[in-house]
Amino acid sequence: MSNVAEHSDLPGVARLLSLSDGVVAIALTLLVLNLHVPTTIHHSNSAPDLASALATDGPAFTSYIVSFYVIAQFWLAHHRVFRLVAGHDEGLAWWNFAFLFTITVMPFTSDLLGEFSNNPLAVDIFALNLLLAALSTQLVLIFGRRKKMLVANIDPIQTRVGQIRSFGVIAVVAASMGVAWINTDAAKYMWILLVAVPRIADRIAGRPSGGAGLAPRLTATPNSGPASSAPSP
């Protein structure tokens, strides 16, 4: 029996998903606007000159790739969460808007990281953006469970995997925020560890690996205690 039985008049989540998909698509598009064609060489026909000019924009390209991957993973995590949500009310919609806010601001924090790649504050602002996006996704799930809007019979192993992934993501990102004040490059390289978090969580939980991703697959058992508030990609 679904958790939304006592809220059978609630609308489904199709409109929320459509809105979220549109916002994510726009955010992904805006990211590329931070990349610029080199103008300092004045249309030189020299390949080495062009290669050198492109190399100077290396941090911007790196920021674009990282941000695109991050947003894509949060989109996947968002859909995994909403597969567990059978209905919504205004409160849950506002938590979803909190998630969308963190996604829409990511092109700015990404551009900031590209322009000031060696500034620890810029690194920490981008990392904080990741944590807030993950936390807002988790809060959608927590709110849905407390309001009994989730589907029934959620796999407890999946719940454990989600909790481990959440802890892994928040640990890596939080650690990188501290390391940034010592070495910004080391802090950014630490984000590569996020790719391994899902596989490690699957192994610890005894579940076959379902593929890597930044944000954990967040789940919750219906009618149980409050879900972990650790971030979820």
Coil/strand/helix, residue 85: strand
pLDDT given for residue 224 in this prediction: 39
List average pLDDT for each run of 10 residues in the chain, which is 233 residues long.
50 86 93 74 66 68 86 87 84 93 94 89 94 88 84 74 76 92 92 83 70 41 38 42
pLDDT given for residue 228 in this prediction: 37
Per the CB < 8 A criterion, the answer to whether 198 and 165 are in contact is yes
pLDDT given for residue 99 in this prediction: 95
pTM metric for this prediction: 0.75
Rounded Cα–Cα distance for residues 140 and 225 (Å):
15
Neighbours of 83 (CB within 10 A): 14
pLDDT given for residue 222 in this prediction: 38
pLDDT given for residue 5 in this prediction: 43
pLDDT given for residue 217 in this prediction: 41
